[in-house]
Amino acid sequence: MSKKPSAIADIKAESAVKATDYALAPINAALSSTQRIELYRTMIRIRRFEERSLRAYQGKNPSGGTNIGGFLHLYIGQEAVAVGCCSLMGKNDHVITAYRDHGHAIAVGMDTKPLMAELYGKITGCSKGKGGSMHYFAPDKNFWGGHGIVGGQIPLGTGLAYALKYQGKKGAAMAFMGDGAVNQGAVHEAYNLASLWNLPVVFVIENNGYSMGTSQARSSAGQLAKRAEGYNMTWGQCDGHDVYEVRALMDKHLTLAREQSRPSTVEIDTYRYRGHSVADPDNTYRTKTEIEEYRNKKDPIQVSLHKLLAEGVLTETLADQIDAEARAEAESAAEFADASPYPTPDDIQKDVYWESDHPAQRKSEGRLFFD
Amino acid sequence: MPQITYREAIRHALAEELTRDPNVVVMGEEVAQFNGAYKVTDGLLATFGPTRIVDTPISEAGFIGLGVGASMLGIRPVMELMFWSFYSVAFDQILNNAANVRYMSGGQINCPIVIRGPANGGTNVGATHSHTPENVLANHPGVKVVVPATAYDAKGLLKSAIRDNDPVFFLENTILYGDKGEVPEAEYVIPLGKADIKRVGADLTIVTYGRCVIHSLKAAEVLEKDHGISVEVVDLRTIRPLDFDTVLASVKKTNRVLIVEEQKPFASVGTQLAYMIQREAFDDLDGPIHRLATIDAPAIYSPPVETEQLPNPGRVIKAVLAAMA
Amino acid sequence: MAQFIDMPKLSDTMTVGTLVKWLKKEGDVINAGDMLAEVETDKATMELESFFAGTLLKIFSAAGAQVAIGDPLCAIGKPGEVVGMPAPKKTAPAVAAPVVSPAPVAASARVPEPASASQPTPPAASSAPTPTTSPAVGRVRISPLARKLAAEKKIDVTRVTGSGPGGRIVRADILAAEKNPPATKAGSGSMFTGGALSSRGPVQEERLVPVSTMRGVIAKRMLESTTQIPYVYLDIEMDAGPLLALREQLNTGLEKEGVKLSVNDFILKACADALRRVPAVNASWEATHIRRHGAAHVAFAVAMEDGLITPVIRDAHLKSIFQISTEAKSLGKKAKEKKLVPAEFTGGTFCVSNLGMMGIPKFTAIINPPNAAILAVGTTVTKPVVKNGQIVVGQTLTVTLSCDHRVFDGAVGAQFLGALKTLLESPALLLV
């Protein structure tokens, strides 16, 4: 009945390798075959994770209840951005993003089991079921969330850069936002502070063309990244469907941050195939043809697959195997999530205060909680 | 013991903590070169230099958010809001990010930031500069809220606040900045969440904090002398965590309560206290819980009328007499 | 095995989806990712995507149908595969129940609720030895602390006058009451059961009898009445002969109907009619004004083991003697059985107290506030009377009206008694 899952089978003939081959950029030329395959693998792992989470969202658990509540903002179509950027991270580089955060979480190396469990609201989730889809965190992997309010994370990311500079560490903060965030005041305040104080931060605008259901043309004046000029910052722009191109551009900006402690803004063009959240319709603001166009011609996974096959790094067999592994991983994450217990009511008031979680070291007195 | 001002006490706390911990950074509008809009940070730039004492642009959402982000990586920022009234433009950073980041990360992150500055009316600066948001702040689990009334308390509490691993919001008072009080030269800290009985009495308990402590103490003297009423004044000092045990013990002793607060009445700190008192001391009450708050309107500019809008000793006396009826 | 496609959850708030239309039909080849149908949610119309490849074997829900999340929409499988409706999904065992019960929170974070508020109980039905009063009669205004102290010191708060705002009893009042206890009556036995005549022992066992709720209420109300009301008492003697004759005549005639009218029934009826004639008596003192009641709700005292209660004939001015009689019997019975509900013993505007059956010829009664008057009815006395200049044997009845002089004056009370006398001496008037 259902055909064999295959990444190869999904390839559309129209997917084309761009004329400018960013594979030749030094940062990419230096990649080993294994590293190239890993980039591809991470992208496909994100894709399969997202597809599996959508199925879980739409389905019911065996008791008839909800698997996943609330919103689910999928990263499908944008994989090359997070994977390209995060693949450049050194030990003092940090990442913060908004609510479409699953891709970044997987790209920085978080295990998909606790990620899926977090969607399911389980105690085994990466935030113990307290954050949900929009609030993934992994400080041990220099990943600082996962933030729900558009643009609200950008001052925080600037603060990460401030801390790096204060502590004399040679690193950079990557503060991701969507194209809708550029109109938020907090973003502009952060731009100003970063430039004024020479902070090592790269502001990454993932421009998927739509702030929820409003197109860029209807929401933002001018080129988004160019606003950096008003704050005396350099800026760059690239196609985000090619992971090599993302890496080539980001490498320059990260180097600027690390070596010269200067902030900058990059605008990476990308596209999401799904609604803003999976509950949101597409048909009010864009056409199916447009979505199909991107799927067929610009899909980051297909673009990457083409290149790797052409480079001889990947064989069809290996590609199929990677895909099968990614599907199996997503399935096993869902099984793990499904089998995990929920937090208990006793967990509700844990993780609120550092002090109440460390009673032996508590110095304050009095009641922290009220009823 | 030397007498120093409330302002100096805060400055001494900052200086001591800057010396003690290299991760402490003082940041805010006009805190460095200008020596502080209210001169709280006077001289700190000269002592600690521009890396530790940082002037920010007028950009509260930006620099408070920056402080929150820096605190996640181990910096201990002490951010000055020139007025706490400006918290509204940084609300998302203060009450979405600082207050929630620990919880939403399942306890992986903590946010040891202090945000301090004056929060009071009574200086004829109009409604936009006269907010007292301690109730709004304390409504958010995850944060701590401190409102000191005296120089001694301000110093000891601020030192604890800076050492605390949770976000602490420290609400000062421009009118108290010049008030002198005895402050020991030797180092001391006052734990957060510990109330202080500022005056012992038998007939009625005033539960209060901040500048209303001073009003209440003045009123208590008159009440003792002219009306023979012995008032106990409990200074909460910290709103959250809340030392309710001290409140409870006092109420059980005097059996009558007046809450005095420089707050708009609706859903104020006093509202929460009244709920808790009736809940936990119902059978010890010999009369209803009374409360004196700011008269319920935006802060009026007109100088003599603003004095009447806020709690003051005269209003406290009237409120006590009503509560004793 | 065929795959069943269920109605998916397409939004955070969706519970049911409307199948707008099918984009595929049975027999179509489906690729994973193909759109199968359009589904309208509470938010938008969305496309239903297939996660499976195969042939659309069966459609279970027609266009236009409303389908709950999780219910099957269609099946996809191998061509020719036969499918029926899927079996209902098994409910997982309880251990897997995903809904977190709030109960433990409630148990740990809340103090036990106080016992549920007692149902409104007529004071007669309660003999609990607590000093609290029944809410039905009106609660005592007292501070929580004073209430606790009073309980500890066993002080009846209904006997304490409050010095706080609105008469609230506060701690000082309880402490004063402790030093200066209100006079307590020696416990009395039942008024109906005297001790043995020949006994030489003590009158009764000496002991403290807790004040029952009803006793407490009576004490408070009577004290309030006698200390706050300026009384005027008016007696009138009337010829009871016509009344007794008519009563006998009616009772004889109605015997087989089971009707038996009492003297008191006539008095209740006469009071209602007299109130209509002299309505100033049907009133209440309310400090800043006098309330004139539009309806005559005539109460009558019923003696009980440990007190008395005054059930009310509502709208007595609209009722016949037979209706009043029937109602009075029913209320009296319920009162003795302590089965009155508050609506049956509150809201009276005038009261009748009759000790005639106890042989008392004449007495004065205490007004039950907020009434402005009470009528005390004695027994019918056979004695010499002067009729048409002759001394003859007659039957007389004396009634005494206690009046609240704040509400009306003696002359008005006299008018009322005059009207009452007219009615009772020409009792046929009560039948029209």
In a domain, A370, yes or no: no
Q: Which residues contact C340 (CB under 8 A, 6 or more apart)?
A: C122, C124, C125, C309, C311, C331, C334
Q: What is the mean pLDDT of chain B?
A: 97
Q: What are the DSSP calls for C254-299, one per residue?
A: HGGGT----HHHHHHHHHHHHHHHSGGGSEEE-SSSEEEPSS--EE
Q: B3-182: which CATH topology?
A: Rossmann fold (3.40.50)
CATH number of the structural domain spanning residue A147: 3.40.50.970
Residue whose entry in the numeric block shows the structure tokens 């009669």: C137
Q: Is the pLDDT of residue C206 over 80?
A: no
Same structural domain for residues C11 and C148?
A: no
Cα torsion for C16, C21, C27, C31, to the nearest 10°? -80
Picking from C110, C111, C143 by the largest number of B CB atoms within 10 A of its own CB, the best residue to mutate is C143
In a domain, A170, yes or no: yes
Q: Is the pLDDT of residue B155 over 80?
A: yes
Q: What are the b/e assignments for B300-320, b being 16+ CB within 10 Å?
A: beeeeebeebbbbbebbbebb
Same structural domain for residues C240 and C308?
A: yes
In a domain, A346, yes or no: no
> Any idea which of A331-340, C128-137, C263-272, C379-388 has the lowest mean pLDDT?
C128-137
More reliable by pLDDT, C210 or B20: B20
- pLDDT band, residue A6 (cuts 50/70/90): low
**For the segment A195-238, what is each residue's pLDDT rounded down to a tens digit?**
999 999 999 999 999 999 999 999 999 999 999 999 999 999 99
Q: Is the pLDDT of residue C192 over 80?
A: no
Same structural domain for residues C217 and C260?
A: no
Angle at Cα B215 formed by Cα B214 and Cα B218, nearest 5°? 90
Least Cα distance to C382 among C235, C240, C237, C242 occurs for C240
Structural domain boundaries, residue A320: 7-13+22-277+288-340
Beta pairing class for C16-22 and C35-40:
antiparallel
Contact B238, B192 (CB under 8 A): yes
What's the pLDDT at A12?
Answer: 53
8 Å CB contact of C170 and B284: no
The rounded distance, in Å, linking the Cα atoms of C83 and C77 is 9
In a domain, C69, yes or no: yes
**For the segment B252-299, what is each residue's pLDDT rounded down to a tens digit?**
999 999 999 999 999 999 999 999 999 999 999 999 999 999 999 999
- pLDDT band, residue C342 (cuts 50/70/90): confident
DSSP class of residue A344 equals: P
In a domain, C99, yes or no: no
Q: What are φ and ψ of residue C30, in 5° steps?
A: -115, 130
What's the gap in Å between the CA of C169 and the closest CA on chain B?
Answer: 9
What's the pLDDT at C14?
Answer: 79
Quick one: tokens of B103? 């919880």
Quick one: tokens of B38? 């209210």
Give pTM, 2 decimals: 0.71
Q: Which residues contact B17 (CB under 8 A, 6 or more apart)?
A: B24, B78, B158, B159, B162, B163
The CATH class, in words, for B196-324 is alpha beta
Q: Which of residues 154-183 of B touch A (CB under 8 A)?
A: 160, 163-166
The rounded distance, in Å, linking the Cα atoms of C75 and C1 is 10
C-alpha distances out from residue B232 to A166, B207, B224, B255, B320, Å: 48, 8, 11, 11, 11
8 Å CB contact of C143 and B286: yes
> Which segment, A150-164, C256-270, C355-369, is predicted with the most confidence on average?
A150-164
What's the pLDDT at B313?
Answer: 98
8 Å CB contact of B286 and C171: yes
Residue C165 at interface with chain B, using a CB cutoff of 8 Å: yes
Q: How confident is the model over B200-217, as a mean pLDDT?
A: 98
In a domain, C109, yes or no: no
CATH number of the structural domain spanning residue C387: 3.30.559.10
More reliable by pLDDT, C160 or B170: B170
The rounded distance, in Å, linking the Cα atoms of B238 and B225 is 30
The rounded distance, in Å, linking the Cα atoms of B204 and A59 is 61
Contact B217, B199 (CB under 8 A): yes
- pLDDT band, residue A2 (cuts 50/70/90): very low
| Residue in A137, A162, A355 closest to B105 by CB | A137
What's the pLDDT at A18?
Answer: 53
Residue C143 at interface with chain B, using a CB cutoff of 8 Å: yes
Report chain B residues whose CB lies below 8 A from the CB of A145: 101, 104-105
Same structural domain for residues C168 and C252?
A: no
**Residue C289 designated active-site:** no
> Any idea which of A122-126, B95-99, C180-184, C239-243 has the lowest mean pLDDT?
C180-184
The rounded distance, in Å, linking the Cα atoms of A156 and A254 is 18
Residue of A nearest to C32 (CA): A2
8 Å CB contact of C145 and B325: no
- What's the number of domains chain C is made of? 3
Q: Is the pLDDT of residue C98 over 80?
A: no
In a domain, A116, yes or no: yes
Q: Is the pLDDT of residue B178 over 70?
A: yes
What's the gap in Å between the CA of C147 and the closest CA on chain B?
Answer: 8
CB atoms within 10 A of CB A149: 16
The ranges assigned to domains in chain B are 3-182, 196-324
Report chain A residues whose CB lies below 8 A from the CB of C101: 345
Picking from B256, B285, B286, B321 by the largest number of C CB atoms within 10 A of its own CB, the best residue to mutate is B286
In a domain, C235, yes or no: yes
Q: Which of residues 118-177 of A touch B (CB under 8 A)?
A: 125-131, 135, 137-140, 144-149, 152-160, 162-164, 166-167
- What's the number of domains chain A is made of? 1
Q: Is the pLDDT of residue C136 over 70?
A: no
Question: Which member of C289, C293, C297, C405 is catalytic?
Answer: C405
Q: What is the mean pLDDT of chain C?
A: 81
Picking from C111, C113, C145, C153 by the largest number of B CB atoms within 10 A of its own CB, the best residue to mutate is C145
Quick one: tokens of A21? 């081959």
Q: Is the pLDDT of residue B301 over 70?
A: yes
8 Å CB contact of C2 and A1: yes
Q: Is the pLDDT of residue C111 over 50?
A: no
What's the pLDDT at A4?
Answer: 45
Burial of C394 (0-12, 13-18, 19+ CB in 10 A): middle
Establish whether domains B3-182 and B196-324 are of one fold: yes
Same structural domain for residues C68 and C137?
A: no
> Any idea which of A216-225, A274-283, B109-118 has the lowest mean pLDDT?
A274-283
The rounded distance, in Å, linking the Cα atoms of C29 and C202 is 107
Beta pairing class for C35-40 and A264-269:
unpaired
In a domain, A144, yes or no: yes
Q: How confident is the model over B295-312, as a mean pLDDT?
A: 96
What's the pLDDT at A10?
Answer: 54
CATH number of the structural domain spanning residue C23: 2.40.50.100
Residue B3, strand partner residues: B182
What's the pLDDT at A334?
Answer: 97
Residue A346 at interface with chain B, using a CB cutoff of 8 Å: no
Report chain A residues whose CB lies below 8 A from the CB of B95: none
Same structural domain for residues C49 and C166?
A: no
Rounded to an integer, what is the distance from CA C386 to the centroid of its chain?
Answer: 50
Q: Is the pLDDT of residue C94 over 50?
A: no
Structural domain boundaries, residue C329: 230-431
In a domain, C197, yes or no: no
Report chain B residues whose CB lies below 8 A from the CB of C171: 255, 286
Classify the C-alpha dihedral C199-C203-C205-C211 as positive or negative: positive
Q: How confident is the model over A134-160, as a mean pLDDT?
A: 97
**For the segment A229-245, what is each residue's pLDDT rounded down to a tens digit?**
999 999 999 999 999 99
Percent of chain C with pLDDT over 90: 36
Q: What are the b/e assignments for B7-29, b being 16+ CB within 10 Å?
A: bbbbbbbbbbbbeeeebbbbbbb
What's the pLDDT at B247?
Answer: 98
Q: Is the pLDDT of residue C110 over 60?
A: no
